Amino acid sequence: MESSSSSTSSSKTIDFAALIPPGRLDVMIRSWLHDDLPSFDVGGLVVGTVTRTAILWMKSPGIVAGQPFVNAVFGNLDCQIDWHVAEGFQLVNDSKTQVATVTGRVHRLLQGERTALNILSRCSGVATAANHAVHVAHSILPSWKGQIAGTRKTTPGSFGLVEKYGLLVGGAATHRMDLSQMCMLKDNHIWSCSGSISGAVAEAKRASGFSQKVEVECQSLDEAREAAQAGADIVMLDNFEPALLKEDAARLKQEFPHLLIEASGGITTETMKDYICEHVDIISRGKLTQGYACIDFSLKIQMEDQTK
């Protein structure tokens, strides 16, 4: 991955594109393109079908994320995209930077423009927010072995997959992808089955077997102990005061060394310093996929004399 005076890059990169099911990717992209062009394209008629090249510009600081989705957009329109930066490239100042060129019939370029930019700006926004949160966490406690995670507070529908992908590019954990990936017993689950944490965990473990973890949202140390004793793999200490959370997390780790402890509930970048400690394994933050700022990109088609 290249770097310059206006950018930074990580020394180790993982190709997270390999995670995305090809069939699902194609269905998602075709659906989004159809949403944007359900009938005639008069603008496309005006510009015609001559082949042109467009430059993809990054215009605000942040991390580039979402390349597999953008590739699929233009691939579906028979256009060729050539990236000049790797996934995870970070622009650290406001200098306008060329990150890719796209070549194809001009009406096809314009048919994919907004869908591609919407995906890229949002996925990059998630990655940027996630990366900042991870950086802050490890600057607070460099020896911390835990993970910053998102939540299921994502855009409804298939776009949540894009946001979860952005978390990974930014260095955070996705948390569970959906209701089927991990059983999380929240307060509503417990209240709906006579208030018994032990009973709820036992029933969940019978269905999950050995292949699925069970997490319990807890409002007190006693609830967390009951969940751990019943066989929960993870306890979420939800909306705890910071000092109490650290104290209770230490007690739980002493009593249940293999228990994973998640801290959650209104934790921000500014307050993370009050919650992070060696006994907390996960800090989850809904804002990473619910309140992120988009990164500014634009696509500019070159005039014929500019491409020579």
Q: What does the alpha-carbon distance between residue 54 and residue 212 come to, in Å, rounded to a whole number?
A: 47
Q: What angle do CA 273, 276, 281 make, to 5 degrees?
A: 160
Q: What angle do CA 141, 15, 67 make, to 5 degrees?
A: 105
Q: What does the alpha-carbon distance between residue 39 and residue 47 come to, in Å, rounded to a whole number?
A: 17
Burial class (CB in 10 A: 0-12, 13-18, 19+), 297: buried
CB 114 within 8 A of CB 73: no
CA 181 to chain centre: 16
* DSSP H helix total and E strand total for the chain: 11, 13
Q: Which residue, 274, 264, 276, is CA-closest to 234? A: 264
Residues contacting residue 266 through CB under 8 Å, at least 6 positions apart: 239
Q: What does the alpha-carbon distance between residue 215 and residue 191 come to, in Å, rounded to a whole number?
A: 16
H helices within 236-306, ranges in order?
Answer: 242-255, 272-275, 287-290
Give the CA distances from residue 212 to residues 44, 112, 161, 230, 242, in Å, rounded to whole numbers and listed in that order: 50, 39, 21, 15, 30
Q: What angle do CA 250, 275, 185 make, to 5 degrees?
A: 75
Assigned token pair, 152: 């299921």
Which residues belong to the active site?
153
